[in-house]
A = this chain, B = another copy of it.
């Protein structure tokens, strides 16, 4: 419903897919491709403002975003509920409703939240620009001036096969992980560390975490094998790492498995796999399956639905952390505003930021210092597109040949016969 009051309306919306170089970061399903994809959403108003959003760029997702842009002209940026209906209507009409989204992991209700997200962020950016307020103010006000992030450690090769090595070098054992962590801590000041596991047998990953503990006695540590372990193995790992990790993230797949493990350890279990949509919360709560939920505004339907997730987590006694996929500066700005305005987000947020070598926002708005990013104080998200860089990254998208994230397919091109490590150990 369009309200009577005045204010800018969206006159035009665009979606620009971009690609940026990504190192060969290993995970449970394979390895990152040489190019990571993102989509930049721009909402133009009749008054000349531009609101920004950033999201995934798998082909199916891009088609859905594109379909939404055609329905947006005339939309009131304040009208969140109307935007959600609009997205649901478009998805119902343009894609036939239920069905797989990118990655095949999401049902239609999650597809609505995922497609809705960059438009919701863009609308908040517009409202902030129109009112002269940072997005964090629109979310209830920043409760912290800086948002701490966790350094994200990965097992990795020295470089993508057939391409020059990147300058991080290989990390395939405890020493390699500790060296990587030292570079992260020295260069960025991270005050906590997360190791992406699910790559090597759990004993080796535990040894890496223990080596990190020895090298950084004071830093909170996390291990995330993305469900690579059986419930029994998860309990064994939890016993070994009790007192060493602040939480174990998705040791085993599924709410039932997590609940089984949770009942047998005091180590908090976190997730961004078995609870990634609102419909997963009731069974997870009933099973006491997770003690820490990782929010992610890209997946949970934007910043205000992420605030709802935060309120639910607080109400039901679950901790809150924040997940990231490979991302650029528009997403980082949104993550920082959301985290700043979420009182119970007491864990440092994840970010892939150190791993990328390119960006598309005007430099200077977001800087890591002591492992944290100051909340931008300008209107809206507080970041501007660097249009030249946007053009460069869009050109990379056009020429790189990657059209969806396929870590397993890419891994198999290097190691034929590779199968994901899900519950392998």
Contact = CB atoms under 8 A, between A and B. Distances in A.
Interface stretch (A137-145, A233-241, A261-269): A137-145
A164 interface: no
Given A78-B138, A285-B285, A304-B140, A4 B311 contact: no
Nearest to A133: B5
Contacts of A76: 137, 141
A6 B316 CA distance: 36
Contact of A315 (B4, B5, B143, B278): B278
A379 interface: yes
A3 B136 contact: yes
A286 interface: yes
A88 to B, nearest CB: 11
A82 interface: yes
A6 B133 CA distance: 8
A243 to B, nearest CB: 28
Given A5-B134, A136-B3, A308-B311, A143 B282 contact: no
A385 B136 CA distance: 32
Contacts of A5: 132-134, 137, 377, 379
A187 interface: no
A53 to B, nearest CB: 17
Contact of A134 (B3, B81, B138, B142): B3
A314 B316 CA distance: 15
A79 interface: yes
A106 interface: no
Contacts of A136: 3
A282 B311 CA distance: 13
Given A79-B140, A81-B140, 15 more contacts: A1-B143, A3-B141, A3-B142, A5-B133, A7-B131, A7-B132, A76-B141, A79-B137, A81-B141, A82-B141, A278-B314, A279-B315, A281-B316, A311-B311, A312-B315
24 contacts: A1-B144, A3-B133, A3-B134, A3-B137, A3-B377, A5-B137, A5-B377, A76-B137, A78-B140, A79-B137, A79-B141, A80-B141, A81-B141, A81-B142, A81-B343, A131-B131, A278-B314, A282-B316, A285-B285, A286-B286, A305-B311, A308-B312, A312-B312, A312-B315
